[in-house]
């Protein structure tokens, strides 16, 4: 304790001024409480800063996982669209009346609009077209950071509820896409 305060306390006790001593003691208690509150506030601020840094790190890792997934999905989508266009060519060549089944498939109209992009594949011989149709491009998602957050319970550090919900929807959609892809593979 600072010598000044020690001397002041001793003087109050010596002069038998209990009311002043009580006021002094109350002041000391208030100072200690204020010091503790300041220390707690600094600790809370520091913990928030650490959590925010950890959240930023996880979100960067999730972005790092999603970017290649998006590129792969785009390639797989293009691949399946080209299969639809090639399928139309093959069915027309065979003179099949099942062309309407193909035309009803999801994404067929979009694929037809992109038909020029697949011109090089349309020039392939008939057997090669069949082979290209049967070759399967598969998508597999990367969810390392998101799965780690779920496993460790750190999903709660994402402060933005709408972002948390969007991530949950995105990964659920990717799982649905993979299930749909597996159904197609099994049908083929």
Going from N- to C-terminal start, the domains of the chain cover: 53-187
Please tell me the predicted confidence (pLDDT) of residue 34: 95
Tell me how far apart the alpha carbons of residues 81 and 118 are, in angstroms, rounded to a whole number: 9
pLDDT tens per residue across span 97-143: 666 666 666 666 666 666 666 677 777 777 777 667 777 777 777 88
Please tell me the predicted confidence (pLDDT) of residue 26: 84
- From the list 35, 34, 5, 4, the residue with the least C-alpha distance to 21 is 5
Please tell me the predicted confidence (pLDDT) of residue 38: 96
Of the chain, the percentage scoring pLDDT greater than 90 comes to 20
pLDDT tens per residue across span 65-88: 888 888 888 888 777 777 777 777
Q: Average pLDDT of the chain?
A: 79
pLDDT over 90 (residue 6): no
Q: Which two structure tokens, joined as six digits, stand for 176?
A: 């649905």
Please tell me the predicted confidence (pLDDT) of residue 8: 65
Contacting residues for 87 by C-beta, under 8 A, at least 6 apart: 102, 133
- From the list 4, 3, 24, the residue with the least C-alpha distance to 12 is 24
**Of 151 and 138, which is predicted with more confidence?**
151
């Amino acid at each position: 304790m600072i010598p000044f305060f020690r001397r002041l306390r001793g003087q109050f006790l010596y002069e038998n001024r209990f009311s002043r001593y009580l006021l002094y003691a109350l002041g000391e208690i208030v100072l200690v409480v204020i010091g503790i509150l300041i220390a707690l506030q600094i600790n809370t601020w520091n913990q928030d800063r650490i959590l925010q840094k950890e959240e930023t790190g996880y979100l960067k890792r999730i972005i790092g996982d999603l970017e290649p997934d998006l590129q792969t999905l785009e390639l797989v989508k293009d691949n399946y669209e080209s299969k639809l266009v090639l399928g139309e060519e093959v069915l027309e060549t065979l003179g099949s009346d099942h062309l309407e089944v193909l035309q009803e498939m999801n994404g067929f109209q979009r694929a037809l609009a992109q038909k020029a992009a697949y011109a090089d594949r349309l020039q392939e011989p008939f057997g090669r077209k069949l082979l290209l149709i049967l070759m399967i491009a598969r998508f597999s998602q990367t969810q390392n950071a998101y799965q780690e957050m779920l496993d460790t319970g750190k999903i709660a550090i994402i402060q933005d509820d709408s972002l948390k919900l969007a991530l949950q929807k995105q990964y659920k959609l990717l799982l649905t896409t993979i299930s749909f892809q597996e159904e197609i593979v099994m049908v083929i």
